[in-house]
Amino acid sequence: MLLVSPACRGVYLQTIDPNPVDFSARGSYASCFQIPPSVSQRECLMRFGTVFCFNQKHREQTSFKKRHVSTQNVDLPPILPKNKKKPYPIPFKQIQEEARKDKKLAQMGIEKQLDPPKNGLLVPNLIPVAYQVIDNWKLLIKGLAQLLHVVPVFACSECGAVHVSNAGHNIRDCNGPTNSQRRGSHSWVKGTINDVLIPVESYHMYDPFGRRIKHETRFDYERIPALVELCIQAGVEIPEYPCRRRTQPIRMMGKRVIDRGGYLREPDKPQTSSISSPLAELDTLGACERYPPPSPEDIPKIAQETMDAYEKVRLGVTKLMRKFTVKACGYCSEVHVGPWGHSVKLCGEFKHQWRDGKHGWQDALVDEVFPPNYVWHVRDLKGNPLTGNLRRFYGKAPALVEICMHSGARVPQRYKAMMRLDIIVPDSQEADMVA
């Protein structure tokens, strides 16, 4: 018998006599030799007896976890140019390949296999996640509105820049319409809660798989926060904003819906005042007026609760967007929660004339539904303003994380590398001597 591995060509082998012999009487019971590369395995079987390969080490099947090595510093988030389309989250070749498969199945008359929630049914294990996101979203708005009475926030009236400090910074990176007249300097005004939590709204639809929203019928649908609309479609019940709950899945063949269970009219909404409406707690409008300033001893506790709520909201939105379809325009900031985008012609960004104002829909990212809004990290609110010649030593962090940090909350580990906490910012005269 011969045992030879295909990778053992030209290695040392052993031959053992087939008959049992007293090997202790023989000085060496085996003879070692080398098979030349020209000899095949079949020739080895014909020439030699039992052959074993002993040069390869035994590979142990060990399972181990790869240790996560935290980086010391990471690059700042890139600023996408406005004269180009956003990159696709999914490679375009993969999108084309899936479209070809769906088209081939449709030509063969085979229905497309859809899993919840793609077929209109709810996912039971995601309903608690949606309720948790809503509860933490309310806590996030309340905590941030209270902290804004304590921590000073400035916003540029010309662009979307935000700065958390006692005064605005001196970095000339304004990209507003009149930035050339100010030589890139910002025009700072007092910031609001909408400058920290950027409002991203979406059309509320009773049936996401129903008729598409046309440009002429856009005023028949209300605009609510996209995060709230995502939770409503995931199973959250709000009487003022009902959503159709299907018991039978929809059927599709290619891109065409062949059975959606008919069209249903949206039920009448209950009449409630704007103050007592449940959406008032879910909207950032007027939040600073609704919640009074906190007492000094409660500020660290509120800051930590707000930080934890921010992380839970982001984690919950990430879980929901793995299953539910959310579309975003590749040119502007418009977001639509549903299997396909609407047909409203309100896109005014790059080459909108070629598209007749229609949006270029693609799969949305978490940062487009729940924007982090990065700001420059300031170590001392009462220190000197940041300068442009030292900007390579500064770090960045989400605006809410920066506010909670200055209020006494612990910074999560994943933000520390971008904030560059281990870098000592030199003086302006020492910056030229730094390599």
For 105-153, write each residue's pLDDT tens digit.
999 888 888 889 998 899 999 999 999 999 999 999 999 999 999 999 9
Rounded to two decimals, what is the model's pTM? 0.79
Cβ atoms within 10 Å, residue 310: 25
Task: Calculate the alpha carbon distances from 263 to 213, 240, 325 in Å.
Answer: 14, 20, 21
What pLDDT does 66 receive? 46
pLDDT digits (tens, 9 = 90+) for 216-244: 999 999 999 999 999 999 999 998 899 99
In this structure, are residues 217 and 344 in contact, taking their beta carbons and an 8 Å threshold? no
Calpha distance 94→92 (Å, rounded): 5
> Which sign, positive or negative, has the C-alpha torsion 145, 152, 417, 304?
negative
Q: Cis bond leading into 117, ω under 30°?
A: yes
Calpha distance 281→135 (Å, rounded): 10
What pLDDT does 293 receive? 92
Nearest to 267 by CA among 343, 189, 348, 207: 207
Q: Write out the H or E segment, with its range, that includes residue 313.
A: helix 299-321
Calpha distance 89→255 (Å, rounded): 21
Q: Report the amino acid identity of residue 286.
A: G
Nearest to 117 by CA among 4, 245, 213: 245
Q: ∠191-194-195 over CA atoms, to 5°?
A: 45
For tokens 């309720």, name the residue. 131
Q: Write out the H or E segment, with its range, that includes residue 202.
A: strand 201-203
Calpha distance 296→292 (Å, rounded): 13
Residue numbers in the chain where pLDDT is lower than 70: 1-71, 270-278, 429, 431-435
Rounded to 5 degrees, φ, ψ at 32 are -100, 140
Question: Sheet harboring 326-329: ordered strands across?
Answer: 335-337, 326-329, 361-363
Give the dihedral of Cα atoms 79, 85, 89, 94; nearest 10 deg: -150
Calpha distance 115→294 (Å, rounded): 47
What pLDDT does 111 receive? 87
In this structure, are residues 355 and 246 in contact, taking their beta carbons and an 8 Å threshold? no
In sequence order, what DSSP letters do the residues of 180-201 get, joined into one string?
Answer: TTTTT---EEE--HHHHS---E
Task: Calculate the alpha carbon distances from 396 to 85, 379, 393, 400, 435 in Å.
Answer: 25, 11, 10, 12, 22
Which residues, other chains included, contact 358 with Cβ-Cβ below 8 Å and sequence gap of 6+?
Answer: 343, 345, 347
